[in-house]
Amino acid sequence: MLALTSVWTTILLAAAVALGPLAIDMYLPALPSMGESLSAGTGQVQLTLSVYMAGFALAQLVCGPLADRFGRKPIIIGGFLLFAVASVICALATNIETLILSRFLQALGGSAGPVLGRAAVRDIYSPRDAAKIMAILASIMAVAPAIAPTLGGFMVVGLGWQSIFLALAGYALVMAVVIAVGIPEPMRPEHRQSLRIGSLWKNYRAIGSDVSFLGYTLTNSLTFAGLFAFLSGSSFVLIDFLGVKPQHFGLFFACIVAGYIGGNLTAIRLGRRLVPDQILVRGLLVSVAGGGLMAALSMTQVYNVWAVILPQSLFMIGVGMVLPQTMAGALANFPSMAGSASALFGFTQMLVAATIGMLVGHFHDGTSLVMAATIAICSTAALASYLLLVQRHPAPGFEPA
């Protein structure tokens, strides 16, 4: 087996964490054609995204404590097997109701990757080092979402949208096997927690009442919600409104991912001379600039592909700087409850994102305005969360000297 601190272990953890985003990014180009195939409206098709996020959020509340009791590996392997079965059901769906239900089941299994990947990083590294590893991990895992929409677009045109879910099932099965044989259990035996309801409630109450945890989690969730507003509306805006072909959707999406990777690499470079909270506030300002620019262009009816892609790429540079710092900051105070802390963190993140996604789908007006305004509001709210909570209650070692 690989050493826990080896670069290959980090790559495998990134691949495991990437399963959740892949289940979104890969099928984005298929949303319009899925609606046509299943005779479903925009709101119903978008619900397959929000239901996935809601299931993702709820499952983490169970997944985290189970991993704190039995270890990370058994839970993540079981989750990936469930994800694979649900993906096959998605591919076989003949109506939108079946697809929505199977997407929920898919989310229950897929949640194991991100929640336990974050927990494993906290198991292995100190809080300060974890912020750097989170940024490296995010850069590695961003390669998959960069390729996924392009691949998904060609699969939709050549093989039909069902082929995307079969490919996801295969990926999950391969990852389950690789993790089973390739990575040792990262959790220390002395950190195992009880599964008694009283103990679980006590743990969650301790985590949820920590102001530092709340600040980093809320800042992360609002930033991620801005990203999810784009994910929810981008295929309808770019394909239906601006006329981008499904097989070309991924090429534009790659520009977005390039911005995210650029933000990750910037965070890694700045980490050599700045503490995480200094990187965090710079990333928030960049994301506010990107969201504000897209909203301004939409409000003045500048409707073309680059008026969406370039501001969103700027926004994503900020996201790439913000997310690793907030993930590490939220878990910093809980080395013995990293699974539960990661679960509550992920639950909040996904719940906020699912809510924003449903609002974008419900109020979508056929243009980019609703999506752009939502991104601007979320990024501004994230900056306010930092100023009101994180700046006053930074994680240990994260504050400026």
DSSP for 92-137, written as a single string: H--SHHHHHHHHHHHHHHHTHHHHHHHHHHHHHS-HHHHHHHHHHH
pLDDT digits (tens, 9 = 90+) for 247-295: 788 788 888 888 998 998 899 899 888 999 999 999 999 999 999 999 9
* pTM attached to this predicted model: 0.75
Q: What is the CATH number of domain 1-195?
A: 1.20.1250.20
Domain boundaries, the chain: 1-195, 198-395
Distance CA 226, CA 88 (A): 30
Residue 375 and residue 295 in contact, taking contact as beta carbons nearer than 8 Å: yes
Residue 23 pLDDT more than 90? no
226 is written with which tokens? 């801005």
More confident residue, 139 or 265: 265
pLDDT digits (tens, 9 = 90+) for 24-57: 878 888 888 888 888 888 778 878 888 887 888 8
Q: Give me the percent of the chain exceeding a pLDDT of 70.
A: 94
On the question of a common fold for 1-195 and 198-395, the answer reads: yes
Q: How many helices (H) and strands (E) does the chain have?
A: 16, 0
pLDDT digits (tens, 9 = 90+) for 103-126: 999 999 988 887 777 778 778 887
Long-range contacts of the stretch 200-203 (C-beta < 8 A, 24+): 200/65, 200/340, 203/65, 203/68, 203/337, 203/340
pLDDT of residue 302: 94
Which superfamily does CATH assign the domain made up of 198-395 to? Answer: MFS general substrate transporter like domains (1.20.1250.20)
